Amino acid sequence: MPQVTPLQAQAPWVEVSSTPEDWAAADPALLATMLGQMQLIRAFEELVLQLAREGLVHGPAHSSIGQEGGAVGSVLALGPSDGVNGTHRGHHQFLAKVIAYVAPQLDLTALVTEELRVVLRKTLAEILGLADGYGKGRGGSMHLQWMEAGALGTNAIVGGGVPLAAGNAWAQKHAGTQDVTVTYFGDGAANIGSVLESMNLTAAWDLPLCFFIENNLYAVSTHVGEVTGDQRLSARGPGFGIPSWRVDGMDPLAVYLAMQAATEHMRAGKGPAVVEAEVYRYFHQNGPFPGSAFGYRSKDEEAAWRARDPIERVEREMIARGLLDEDAAAAVRQQAVDAMTEVAAHMVEDDPDGKPGTRRIKPDLWPDPDFVDVGVRGDASELAGARTEEEATYDGELVEKRFIDVVAAVMDRRMSTDESIVVLGEDVHRLAGGTNGATKGLTDSYPGRVLGTPISENAFAGLGGGMALDGRFKPVVEFMYPDFLWVAADQVFNQIAKARHMFGGESKVPFVLRSKVATGTGYGSQHSMDPAGIYATSAGLRIVAPSTPFDYVGLMNAALALDDPVIVLEHVDLYASTGQVPADDLDYQIELGKAAVRREGSDLTILTYLSMVTHSLEAVEAMGVDAEVVDLRWLDRASVDWDTIGESVRKTNNVLIVEQGAVGTSYGGWLADEIQRRFFDWLDQPVQRVHGGEASPSISKVLER
């Protein structure tokens, strides 16, 4: 028989309940604020459901009615510079945070101040899609953000906000504050990779992030017991080394006390916390009907939870202590309802064309339809005044250097001049500069700013996104291989690339993602894509693709100076190549949106990038074609150099796009389409394309090369 020794996780896991003594000792002002907040949120949510019933909410309205205790109890343990984010069901958390920001203490006899009215109005306006909303009506119910108040943005991707919250927590910690971030999500979200990856990452790096699980038992109609082994979801925390608290979320004081313990732990620099609050949404996933109407739970179950209503609980306790009587309690509720009636009156009116009693949104409150694409990306005004250079016209001393050494050198230079730059990725801190030497020397020169990550592309890309949105640090994330973008796709495409536009068009997202391109190296189907075409599908991303060391310096400097997310593509074939670079100048940029004509010609325009530039030049010479070879350098839709392309097309009347990637993920597809739209009259024939086959690359030399 083997000897069996029970093991214990390092981190504690406890259940917190309030006692009569806790209620007796609670600060009356705290209880008043709790009650006032919950009544405001309840009245707000009732109004949203009413408007949804009237067809005035375009899109979902995920009601939080019943769950107020978790949000309010936890937010009241936070300060104004602490951050919170949440998911699709986020009205209550958002409101709790912004109400606490403008009115840290509520007066139950004069509940709704003018400042509060503004907050309620702006929140409802956003949910209705109106110009006055926090995101100018872009984001709606699932994208509520007010950065100033520490409300970092709710999220429509289940679990999608969690890595971003980790980035916010990273910034808080490394800016030397004791602030913390709370990321709220449901029982369903507890099963998605971004949450679990972030638990691991924040525990490894001791980040002050609270994973606040609102366990309301159902993900839409699926019971937590159907989809997980231990329904007590806080059980996961200790598995990651995270202290965890389980608490009755229908008891706001218990939540507050658990949260106080969790924040104390985080503020002491001891890393993340998990708090699981058992709550219940009285309504179905979305809309004004109870869950029982859809058959996945019973009316009895709903009644049992309603009997534990968090608002009634606080009222009872306050009445028992003589802090409130029933009339005063009713008056608090009435003030909240009246305030919401007044807020609604700002936005809706009787519909002159509808049946009697029907209402409509006041027409002048909608956003201007021309606003639809405004703020997809920034206007790049931050580059104004920057010095730009071109190799052909550079008048300083040039020396020959290896491409890969220049990659490391320019990052070294920027990190020395800008302390906010932080490099992160797998093995970037070791092996003499990661797997290729791209980060060589940086760990020694900049301790604490070169972070070797766990193999969690979604989490560390998102963490970089959270840092960028916070703004105190500038992340440079590395993907070891390009195909890993699929693993991180939610964070790169849904979160980072859309953040500026979705939240109203003004958030800066200074995020740089370096991605190796390894086509032709024998790494096979899952390491060898050319990702340019996929990144180019995303309007919020800028993409640079340097083919020479000189351009790498200038394009990386531009990428680091931009307030938009920028993808920097680096082809492995180029790393060992050499080129001319300034002897002692790593501070210039390549002009935004400027391609380079590498060979002038009159018969054919070849548009290409990265390693295909040299191959195209070689092919042109070998074939004796008088082709103009244009190195695109800036690949995204907004930054492509249409002037240079247009000038060339009008001269040659023929276009060939040359790229390495497979046809399905091709970059040239959209480019050819756009060229034909813009220059149809100048073309003698359809745009021609050279690209890889249908299949992803194979490892056999014969098949790949």
Ligand X SMILES: Cc1ncc(C[n+]2csc(CCOP(=O)(O)OP(=O)(O)O)c2C)c(N)n1
Among 37-45, 212-220, 264-272, 292-300, the segment contacting ligand X (CB under 6 A): 212-220
Residues 6+ away with beta carbon under 8 Å from 196: 236, 240
Give the span between the Cα atoms of 70 and 91, in whole angstroms. Answer: 12
Q: Which residue lies nearer to ligand X by CB, 88 or 333?
A: 88
For the segment 526-585, give every residue that binds ligand X (CB under 6 A).
Answer: none
Q: Is 93 in the site for ligand X (CB under 6 A)?
A: no
Question: Taking the complex as a whole, how short is the minimal distance between the CB of residue 280 and ligand X, in angstroms?
Answer: 10
Among 145-153, 181-189, 200-208, 431-439, the segment contacting ligand X (CB under 6 A): 181-189
Give the span between the Cα atoms of 660 and 482, in whole angstroms. Answer: 13
Among 213-221, 245-253, 317-325, 392-400, the segment contacting ligand X (CB under 6 A): 213-221
Element (H, E) at 86: strand 83-86
Question: Taking the complex as a whole, how short is the minimal distance between the CB of residue 205 and ligand X, in angstroms?
Answer: 25
Interface residue with ligand X among 102, 157, 293, 619 (CB under 6 A) is 157
Of 549, 138, 594, 553, the C-alpha closest to 373 is 138
Among 151-159, 248-256, 374-382, 393-401, the segment contacting ligand X (CB under 6 A): 151-159
Two tokens, residue 7: 């093991």
Among 154-162, 260-268, 573-581, 697-705, the segment contacting ligand X (CB under 6 A): 154-162
Among 180-188, 365-373, 599-607, 694-702, the segment contacting ligand X (CB under 6 A): 180-188
Among 218-226, 520-528, 569-577, 657-665, the segment contacting ligand X (CB under 6 A): 218-226
What string marks each residue from 183 to 202 as x (binds ligand X by CB under 6 A) or -?
--xxxxx-------------
Of 15, 30, 16, the C-alpha closest to 317 is 30
Give the span between the Cα atoms of 39 and 548, in whole angstroms. Answer: 62
Minimal CB distance to ligand X: which residue? 186
Of 514, 518, 584, the C-alpha closest to 556 is 514
Question: Taking the complex as a whole, how short is the minimal distance between the CB of residue 552 and ligand X, in angstroms?
Answer: 36
Q: Is 227 in the site for ligand X (CB under 6 A)?
A: no
Question: Taking the complex as a whole, how short is the minimal distance between the CB of residue 52 and ligand X, in angstroms?
Answer: 16
Interface residue with ligand X among 34, 38, 52, 88 (CB under 6 A) is 88
For the segment 284-303, give every residue that binds ligand X (CB under 6 A).
Answer: 285
Q: Which residue lies nearer to ligand X by CB, 285 or 548?
A: 285
| Cα-based distances in Å from 228 to 67, 191, 195, 233 | 22, 8, 15, 9
Question: Taking the complex as a whole, how short is the minimal distance between the CB of residue 165 and ligand X, in angstroms?
Answer: 15
Q: Reply yes or no on whether 527 is catalytic.
A: yes
Give the span between the Cα atoms of 141 and 61, in whole angstroms. Answer: 6
Task: Single out the catalytic residue among 88, 501, 527, 571.
Answer: 527
Give the span between the Cα atoms of 143 and 91, in whole angstroms. Answer: 10
Which three-class secondary structure state does DSSP give residue 372? helix
Q: Which residue lies nearer to ligand X by CB, 233 or 569?
A: 233
Q: Is 218 in the site for ligand X (CB under 6 A)?
A: yes
Question: Taking the complex as a whole, how short is the minimal distance between the CB of residue 187 and ligand X, in angstroms?
Answer: 4
Two tokens, residue 469: 């949105």
Which three-class secondary structure state does DSSP give residue 697? coil
Q: Which residue lies nearer to ligand X by CB, 218 or 634?
A: 218
Residues 6+ away with beta carbon under 8 Å from 688: 654, 655, 656, 657
- Strands 83-86 and 181-186, how do they pair? parallel
Q: Which residue lies nearer to ligand X by CB, 274 or 581?
A: 274
Q: Which residue lies nearer to ligand X by CB, 223 or 346?
A: 223
Buried b (16+ CB within 10 A) or exposed e, 286-324: bebeebeeeeebeeeebeebeebbbbebbbebbeeeebb
Of 447, 598, 17, the C-alpha closest to 250 is 17
Residues 6+ away with beta carbon under 8 Å from 654: 603, 604, 605, 683, 684, 685, 688
Interface residue with ligand X among 85, 145, 202, 216 (CB under 6 A) is 216
Q: Is 219 in the site for ligand X (CB under 6 A)?
A: yes
User: What phi and psi values does residue 475 have, to the nearest 5 degrees?
Assistant: -80, 140
Q: Which residue lies nearer to ligand X by CB, 218 or 609?
A: 218
Question: Taking the complex as a whole, how short is the minimal distance between the CB of residue 135 and ligand X, in angstroms?
Answer: 18
Of 313, 374, 336, the C-alpha closest to 131 is 374
Question: Taking the complex as a whole, how short is the minimal distance between the CB of residue 215 and ligand X, in angstroms?
Answer: 8
Q: Is 333 in the site for ligand X (CB under 6 A)?
A: no
Give the span between the Cα atoms of 415 and 410, in whole angstroms. Answer: 8
Question: Taking the complex as a whole, how short is the minimal distance between the CB of residue 700 and ligand X, in angstroms?
Answer: 37
Q: Which long-range contacts (CB under 8 A, 24 or more apart) does 361-370 make?
A: 361/56, 361/128, 361/130, 365/125, 365/128, 365/130, 365/131, 365/132, 366/129, 366/130, 366/131, 366/137, 367/129, 367/130, 367/131, 367/136, 367/137, 367/138, 368/131
Interface residue with ligand X among 41, 65, 75, 89 (CB under 6 A) is 89
Q: Is 220 in the site for ligand X (CB under 6 A)?
A: yes
Q: Is 502 in the site for ligand X (CB under 6 A)?
A: no
Residues that bind ligand X (CB under 6 A): 88-89, 156-158, 185-189, 216, 218-220, 285
| Residues with a known catalytic role | 527
